[in-house]
Structure 1
Amino acid sequence: MGRAWLATLGAVILLAGLYFIGGGGWLAWLGGSWYFLSAGVILVAAGGLIIRRRMLGVVLIAAVVAYTAIWALVDVGLQFWPLLSRLFAFAIIGAAVAFSVPLFSRTRKTRIAGVAFGAVASVGVVVTAVSAFEPKNIIRDAESVAAAQQVKPQNDEKEPGDWKAWAGDTHGSRFSRVGDITPANVKDLQVAWTAHTGEAVVPGVGDAEDQNTPLQVGDNLYVCTTYSTVISFNIDTGKENWRYAAGKGNSTYQRCRGMAYFDATTAKKVADVPGVAADATLNASVSPQRLIFPTGDGRLMAIDANTGKPVANFGDNGAVDLKAGMGEVKPGYYQQSSTPLVAGNLVIVGGRVIDNFETNEPPGVVRAFDAVTGTLVWAWDPGNPAVTREPLSPEGYTRGTPNVWVAMSYDAELGMVYLPTGNATPDFWAGFRTDADDKYGSSIVAVKVGTGRPAWSFQTVHHDIWDFDVTGQPLIYDIPNDDGSVSKALSVTSKTGMIYLLDRTNGKPLADIEERPVPQGNLAGERYSPTQPYSVGMPNIGNEVLKESDMWGATPFDQLICRIIFKSSRYEGVFTPPGEDWAIQYPGSLGGMNWGGVSVDPTTHLMFINDLRLGLHYNMVPAKDIPPGTGSSEGMGIIVQKGTPFGTWRERFMSPLGVPCQAPPFGTLSAVNLKTHKLVWQVPVGTVQDTGPLNIPTGLKLPLGMPTLGPSLATKSGLLFFAGTQDFYLRAYNSRTGEELWKSRLPVGSQSGPITYRSEKTGKQYVVIFAGGSPHSDKRGDSVVAYALP
């Protein structure tokens, strides 16, 4: 038995050493660390000696464990997760060999020493494993946290708390003044009711995901499904009031992130409607309260908020064809995926244009329609400033222009709408783009609400060849200054991990921004911006410049592969240009910060941001080398980019086990003080309970901090709710400190925004989340879950 055990143990160590020699030799040849090669030589020798029952093998194992510990400390210092990936496996090997010492020696002292070392190593393994379940990588600025804690949580007992817009308001705030649920009693929060839409997404059938943030008005909770169905539930019981099915739409990209609510009895006129008398524009005796939402096949629908019936006098029996004036629109190439914006008597929509299939795709035009009649009021065509409403060409609006696919913001006081733009598609080769494309791509464009004419624009990425669209709804926020004045701010988050703080009256920076030189590429026909705007006056989140020692893995073995990929790839920071050689993009095109936007607490001036940290490993592929009929427009693998000289091959920057190659955290929640511009706190969010290596759920609540996608919710009582993690939980945090106070298991994951309201009938405050599933898991659901205090 002893011989068999040592033969097995020695063989495992020998094979590990051979792996280290092969991979480590490659890494050393690439100019990387020599540790793996040298450790591999020792392991091979030790494995062979252990198979032969030579005590020298034990000595060599002790030497390689000590060598590894010293190297790891020099490589990464005292960082927990990086040390774990370097030392944990060797600690287990060392313990196994130490416990085997009695099989090598008859000397009593040697046997006792071996078993004692094995026991110490085992205790270290256990202590480390237990410690792994405690959050790491927590950042807290003591002074800023203390200042936030001095602000007493407040509650407005008279606030009804209706949630009438995607972000609660048109400012992108995601803030509620309802505060019956507090940091002190949130631990008692429990499920009040659960409802179901009956339209759970089928995994693998079309590109469909549930990402809806509900609306709440009076006694009605409104939910839209991926398949363009709207349902009204009773806010106290979850009982279904009515539903309206608008049709499933296309099968290439199906989303309903949210709806708009319009009340003609309270709306203020901000623009005249062509062909309609000024005093008649708000005459909505038919269905004065309306829900306005987009469908997957490119329609804008209006239904009565009380009955769910189509509004007869809006467009064609409740529908406006958004493809009108757009020229050729191939199936699935265009639809509005995010919530429309209601601004006074207007409803404003952009459109999601499919990425990267080809040039000359549908226009990125932004249009305003009368919320009563559905009549087109104005249009902003990024490619033709002469267009004010209908297109001036029989072919329609300018094709292939930068589009607005995420939520917009509206400042009624200034009469300004803020548009976050993407890029003229395709994304990764842009030699075809016009001056107008380059002027408005990856920008914030402020337009006048009554006319749609641009007042100013600010560009976050010049000539964007990375798919760094502006994705988050801009936050409108008034910052009080020490001299008693107020700075009318606009906070813009980005996929690059940068936060831009602008004066929303003119687009000028309120926090320092520097134009810095960036690396230049060499693709034929491409041009490159010599500089990019770096936000240096606000915290940067998850966009540190990687180095080899930042490479990570669940084990040293997949970490070695990540090191090889890193050292064999071109990488020069955030703006590493694509090329025909393999390069690393970090942050990747998912972000950074994505479409969920931010939330804010105006009592503390804290803005809350969630991020994801997934890099890309990619290269540009000459079009002639792409086999006909292969490739797609989005996701991983070959991206076609028809009409350009290059497609691209993209893969996630991950180890063979499907673990991100850089060290944790892979996603965080952060609080930034908008007045002081300081990072107040940052905590990892999410565990590997419902995911893991090879996409196999581990069931372990290890708080690495996982990639996040979805909006958060802040309350005046000092809470922050969030569900957009890769494990199936809705969590509540102390918004002053980042401390997790409560969590509740959801049926499946969620990418939706939580909302809160107080029922006028029962007086209860509810927190509601839609749980339909998240992209990393094939588990899907259709649950609307409401929580309340008992």
Structure 2
Amino acid sequence: MPQSRPMLLPRLMAAFLLLSGLGLAGGGAWLVLLGGSWFYLLAGLAMLASGILLWRGRDAALLVFGLLLAVTLAWAIWETGLDWWALAPRGGLLVVLALLLLTPWITRPLGTSPLRGGGAVLSLAVLASIVTAPIAMLRDPHAIEGALPTRRLAVADQGIPDGEWHAYGRTGLAQRFSPLDQITPANVARLEVAWQYRTGDMRGQPGEPQETTFQVTPLKIENRLFLCTPHQAVIALDATTGGEIWRYEPTILNDLALQHLTCRGLGWLPAPESGAAPPAPLDPARVAAAREAVPGLPVAAEGATTVECGARLYMPTADGRVIALDPETGAVCSNFGDGTGQINLWANMPNVRPGGYYSTSPPVVANGVLVVGGTVLDNVSTSEQSGVIRGYDARSGALLWNWDSGAPDNTAPIAPDATYTPNSPNAWSILSVDAALGLVYVPLGNQPPDQFGGNRSPAVERFSSAVVALDLADGSLRWAFQTVHHDLWDYDVPSQPTLIDLTVEGQTVPALVQPTKQGELYVLDRRTGEAILPIREVPAPQGAAPGDTTAPTQPVSALSFDPPMLRGRDMWGATLFDQLACRIQLRRLRYEGRYTPPSLQGSIVYPGNFGVFNWGGIAVDPERQIAFTTPAYLAFVSRLVPREDATTLYVQGENRPPGSLPALNENFGAPYAVQLYPFLSPIGLPCQRPPWGYVAGADLTTGQIAWQHRNGTVRDLSPVPLPFRMGVPDLGGPILTRGGVAFMSGTLDNYVRGYDATTGAQLWEHRLPAGGQATPMTYTGTDNRQYLLVIAGGHGSLGTTAGDHVIAYALPGG
């Protein structure tokens, strides 16, 4: 070859190929030793050979690289099929390098061209890759195409006006279904912003935890909307114009040991019917005793205008109280809580640490009973508060009963000097209620620490990660159904149980549908807890950490969104290199499928504790007996860290949270701390290939998934705002309407979207100013227009855009 030809650029390219080939071959050899694919080792050797030949000025370098590209394309299709987002990282970088190799700056010094010899082979391989790309882009191998039944059955009136929304899930049945039908698939694309309101409550204030979130679903009663903000303000708005009517900002304790700061909603009690007996006069001695019983806590009725309320709102506060407010004025109700205007949730609570326990979700109100659960700190210590569920007289605030899973048969009000069982399973999510049956349904979490269960009592083992039905009148246990046996994965029951009457074999059966983090939708008879759709026990991986055990089997529903087990071919990344790193991680970590126990080496938890379903739950249409769901898929890693003492920060290290905020995952008092993190590539991308989020429709009478489509883009998740529709997770639930349209705003891109409930087709979307991690709602204004209401405030832990926006949409005109 003539020495006068410039070889600078070819040798620079050769150096890149040599370095890349060394990395790929080295990592590939490691993967082979771990029992994984040979492809990366062979590809690295081919890249090395191409680099050596290119350094020597041989056009055979193009031939070798062309063969590498062709083999890579064939291998990628064999592993993944024509799945664009799985193919692209396998071949994308190689195609770019191939195009560079075909430029005149490379081919001319080699004395060849793209149409001769090795250049022709390389050109054909590039052409094959380019032809394959649009074919793969136009396919969606993960989609299920179909349609849900359109039949409509007559259902019982739920007892509230069609245009209102009286509870978190619209009613205590938690269906998230509105009988309004003004917005339809034919006109939903015409929705426009009708009004906006800014609460002024933004995250980022001193002393707040990272997980500060605007998750509220407002209530709509007559022409007023009622909502709460993360920092505990309660606001009433005109539902038609968005104008502020009143605002209440309670005094909240400072220096709270908070893991979460949120308010998902308010409880509501209508005014008593005319002719009802007036409330008993307050006893001054009881008022004085009640105020003395809350040392250190603010008293809502002090220093504020108070009234003797008829109707009332109930606001749970971050310092462990429930305050009763007058819906007309926002004033504190002086005839509640023995003159304090509040319930003290710290009463009889063990291990008092303000902020460590409070109710993040709205209380349930039915049959004159106010039922309150609460959250405790996850994975901080073994000395946390109780997960007791309490029922209060909704008008007086007097304790009627308490259901303590540590003493489940003793529901009479606790003695003044006694305490509830510490560290027991809690109900941090939203409760549901069937007033006609007189039952309240409670989704329970786990006993902390979540990833170690060696010291759990029989009562804890019975009720952890279960849904229980309690008698509204006295709190007695009617039935319990456990969704996970001996939970070691933080698979607490996250979603509000949804209640719907189903037609089964010609009979109407009152059902409960319970979504779970692991992807099951258990369909139970809500009178007895017995299965309506079949549930089978399947063998589960064994071999817990020293001192612990595992359950031999786990329950699986006939209606399940459990994803297939991860394999090497499911690993993902921007390039072959970080995909290889993910394959190595998959082999090095312990993973035997769902329910792989946490381990010292680290275990993959898939589905992760983010959940296939979380607190947003599902929406159902009771007339069509269908469900609109939003399954999400992200794998996590759970690694146990042995503790030698009860004080050292094994996980936080020098990063102890400031002030009173808790040191999460340290598990003081347990034998292990735990490291929990998403299963990510070295550059921060999920190790599993997309889609990571879907919308899906299911027939609840048959358990069949009729359709499923990837949902959402990475526009707000990537450094460059690319609107690739890869399917992203969501946090925040959907709603359904009789008009045949479903809505959701919880995806991790800043959009609210409308869907055809029958086919799942996306019909409309609108850009939000912040993350919409809340459940929307819909109602009718005084102008007879149907409004869609969306909260856009973001989620601190997920890093979505912060905001304080309340946005109402409607069709034009009115």
TM-score (norm 1): 0.92
Q: In the alignment, what sits opposite 2:748?
A: 726
Residue 602 (structure 1) aligned with residue 602 (structure 2) = no
Aligned-residue offset at 1:488: 1.5
Q: Secondary structure at the match of 2:195?
A: strand
Question: What CA RMSD, in Å, does the superposition of the two structures yield over aligned residues?
Answer: 3.0
Matches within 5 A, 1:385-404: 385-392=408-415, 394-404=417-427
Q: Write the deviation string for residues 579-602 of structure 1: whole angstroms up to 9, x where unpaired.
A: 222211111111121111110112
Query: SS where residue 40 of structure 1 aligns?
Result: helix
Spell out, residue by residue over 1:513-569, the C-alpha distance to the aligned partner (whole angstroms, 9 max, x if none): 11222222242221222221122x21x214321111111112211111110000111
**Alignment partner of 1:102 is 2:107:** yes
Once residues 519 and 174 of structure 1 are traced to their aligned partners in structure 2, the CA distance between those partners, rounded to angstroms, is: 36
Q: Percent same amino acid at aligned positions?
A: 36
1:762 paired with 2:783, answer: yes
- 1:675 Cα deviation after fit: 1.1
Name stretches of at least 5 consecutive residues in structure 2 with no aligned partner: 284-305
Structure 2 residue aligned with 1:651, among 662, 677, 681? 677
Q: Quick one: structure 1 residues 320 and 152, their matched pair in 2 at CA, closer, same or farther if it must change by over 3 Å?
A: closer
The 1:304–1:38 alpha-carbon spacing in structure 2 relative to 1, beyond 3 Å, is same
Amino acid at match of 1:769: V
Match of 2:348 among 316, 321, 325: 325
Per-residue deviation, residues 13-43 of structure 1 (Å, max 9, x unmatched): 2222111011111111100001001100110
- Structure-1 residue corresponding to 2:248: 244
Q: Does structure 2 retain, via aligned residues, the 8 Å contact 1:159–1:178?
A: no
Q: Name 2:643's counterpart in structure 1.
A: 623
Counterpart CA distance in 2 for 1:135 and 1:450 is: 55
In structure 2, do the counterparts of structure 1 residues 160 and 519 end up closer, same or farther at CA, with 3 Å as the change threshold? closer
In structure 1, what is the equivalent of residue 582 of structure 2? 562
Provide the C-alpha distance between the structure 2 equivalents of 1:636 and 1:722, rounded to a whole number of angstroms.
Answer: 32
Q: Alpha-carbon deviation of 1:366? A: 0.2
1:531 to 542, 546, 553: 553
Whether the 8 Å contact between 1:379 and 1:389 is mirrored in structure 2 is: yes
Indicate conservation of the 8 Å contact 1:267/1:345, yes or no.
no
1:280 corresponds in structure 2 to none
- Name the CA distance, whole Å, in 1 between partners of 2:383 and 2:443: 21
Equivalent of residue 58 in structure 2, options 54, 60, 63: 54
Equivalent position to 2:570, from 544, 547, 550:
550
Alpha-carbon spacing, 1:56–1:212, altered in 2? closer, same or farther (3 Å): same
Distance in 2 between the 1:159 and 1:526 partners? 52
* Separation in 1, partners of 2:275, 2:382: 40
> In the superposition, relative to structure 1, how do residues 625 and 557 fare at CA in structure 2: closer, same or farther (>3 Å)?
farther
Q: What residue in structure 2 maps to residue 121 of structure 1?
A: 126
Amino acid at match of 1:309: A
CA distance in 1, matches of 2:681, 2:242: 44
Out of 267, 274, 283, the position equivalent to 1:260 is 267
2:792 aligned residue: 771
The residue matched to 1:65 in structure 2 has which SS? Answer: helix
Deviation of the 1:487 alpha carbon: 1.7
Q: CA deviation at 1:267?
A: 11
What whole-Å deviation, never above 9, does each CA across 1:403-442 have from its counterpart, x for those lacking one?
1110111112211111110111111111111000001111
Counterpart amino acid of residue 258 in structure 1: G
Q: 1:327 to 1:105 in 2, by over 3 A?
A: closer
Residue of structure 2 in register with 1:293 after alignment: 315
Q: Aligned equivalents of 2:25 and 2:515: distance in 1?
A: 44
The match for 2:522 is: 500
| Secondary structure class of the residue paired with 2:102 | helix
1:166 equivalent in structure 2:
168
**Deviations along 1:73-129, whole A, 9 cap, x unmatched?**
222223332122212222222222223463245467835994896598379559847
1:709 equivalent in structure 2:
731
Distance 2:346 2:794 in 1: 30
**Pairwise CA distance, 1:770:** 0.8
Change (3 A) 1:565 1:670: same
Instruction: Name the CA distance, whole Å, in 2 between partners of 1:553 and 1:737.
Output: 31
What secondary structure, in the 3-state scheme, does the structure 2 residue paired with 1:27 have?
helix
Q: Residue 689 of structure 1: which of 698, 712, 715 is its match?
A: 715
Which residue in 1 is equivalent to 2:177? 175
The 5 A counterparts of 1:771-790 are 771-774=792-795, 775-777=797-799, 779-790=801-812
Rounded Cα–Cα distance in structure 2 between residues aligned with 1:327 and 1:522: 30
Matches within 5 A, 1:343-362: 343-362=366-385
- Measure, in 2, the Cα distance between the counterparts of 1:268 and 1:630: 63
Aligned 8 A contact 2:439 2:472 in 1: yes
How far is the alpha carbon of 1:235 from its aligned partner?
1.1
- 8 A Cα contact 1:268 1:344, kept in partner: no
Which residue is 2:188 aligned to?
Answer: 186
Which structure 2 residues correspond to residues 12-411 of structure 1 after superposition, within 5 A? 12-100=16-104, 102-106=107-111, 110=115, 114=119, 118=123, 121=126, 125=130, 128=133, 132=137, 136-142=140-146, 145=147, 148=149, 160-202=162-204, 205-207=208-210, 208-249=212-253, 250=256, 252=258, 253-265=260-272, 286-315=308-337, 316-392=339-415, 394-411=417-434
- The TM-score normalised by the length of structure 2 is 0.89
What are the Cα deviations for residues 657-704 of structure 1, in whole angstroms up to 9, with x where unaligned?
221111111111111110121001111111110012xxx3x2111111
Runs of 4+ in 1 over 4 A off after TM superposition: 104-109, 111-120, 122-127, 129-132, 149-154, 266-269, 632-638
Assess if the C-alpha contact under 8 Å between 2:174 and 2:499 holds in 1: yes
Aligned to 2:297: none
Q: Provide closer, same or farther for how the CA distance between residues 31 and 124 of structure 1 changes in structure 2, counting only shifts above 3 A.
A: closer
Show CA shifts across 1:438-497 (max 9, x none): 0111101111111110011111111111111011111111111352x1122111111111
- Asked if 1:741 corresponds to 2:763, the answer is yes
State the Cα distance separating 1:10 from its structure 2 match. 2.2
Closer, same or farther: CA 364–109 of 1 in aligned 2, 3 Å: closer
